[in-house]
Amino acid sequence: MDIARRLLRGFTVFTLGSGAAALCFYAVRVILARWLDPAQYGLVFSIIAFYSLILTYRMLGFGTAFVRFVPEFKLAGDWWKVKSAAVQMLAIQVAVVALVSAAVIAGRGFLAASYFKVPEASVLLVAFLPYFWITVFGDTLENILYAFNRIGTFAWKKFLDQAFLLVFVVLLFPWFEDARVMAAGMAAAALFSTIWLATRYVRSLPEVRAAPFSWDWKLFRKIFDFGLPQTFANTGIALFTYIDTLLLTYFKTLTDVALYNVALPISLLLMYFRKPLIV
């Protein structure tokens, strides 16, 4: 009975959090569609899809592996392994995002001319980088809390991400008045939700904070070997999710991308109801 109550509670919390997040992000889409011209709107979601596909490899499966092994470490009282695995997860992300950032900064002119086909893409590609750097820390904290079954925090974080984004897009638009407002809004929202996650981590997991840290290569190999296959699975999911926008960006105009990204969410708006059943 206790398990059934926990499942029902987790289902309810995740459904409400995911639903509220979906509505907030839909509101952001509506606002941007009204405020930006079609080409700018299409460019925003083209760049988001571009980064989302590339950064599928950001964790190399460490997030999934971390959630898998934390109960084992906790049961054995190996808190140092929990902390060390978390630091390794953070280090992997920093390394991958640093490489992607360097490559994008070096090749932004080529990408703007040859793929996005508009010069504004060069500026916007760089403008989105702070968001991905901030989420390195946010996603690490999120995985730590999720591994300790903080489902409520996990669900609220999804909502806060999009709620903060909605607020900041509205507040920041008078200062930008172009596609950069989405990049600035996403970075600001990620920063605030990361700070919120940090407060939850400090308050709820003193054992992990107090544990010693040691970079253990055997532990790294154990987590890497488990997580790497998940990276290939995530690649397939990311391709399925973003390939339509990416292909439209290359073969059609950004206005076509905008129209597609306005129409598609309307048909998918209620799909979040099935997610709690498969998480």
77: tokens are 């009282």
269-272 own/partner pairs: CB under 8 Å, 24+ apart = 269/22, 269/26, 272/15, 272/18, 272/19, 272/22
Alpha helices in the chain (DSSP H): 2-35, 38-54, 62-76, 79-111, 120-127, 129-147, 151-176, 180-204, 206-210, 217-251, 254-268
Overall average pLDDT of the 135-142 stretch: 91
Print burial letters for 112-134: b (CB count within 10 Å at least 16), e (below 16): beeebebebbbebbebbbbbbeb
Whether residue 156 contacts residue 17, with contact meaning beta carbons closer than 8 Å, is answered with yes
pLDDT 10s digits, 167-186:
888 888 877 777 888 888 89
What separation in angstroms does the CA of 63 have from each of 30, 142, 206, 235? 32, 9, 21, 14
240-247 own/partner pairs: CB under 8 Å, 24+ apart = 241/52, 242/49, 242/50, 242/52, 242/53, 243/53, 245/45, 245/46, 245/49, 246/46, 246/49, 246/50, 246/53
pLDDT at 63: 85
Tell me the residue length of the chain: 279
pLDDT at 276: 47
pLDDT band for position 277 (50/70/90)?
very low
Asked if the model's pLDDT at residue 279 lies above 50, the reply is: no
> Could you say which DSSP state residue 177 is in?
-
pLDDT band for position 100 (50/70/90)?
very high
Q: For all residues of the chain together, what is the average pLDDT?
A: 84
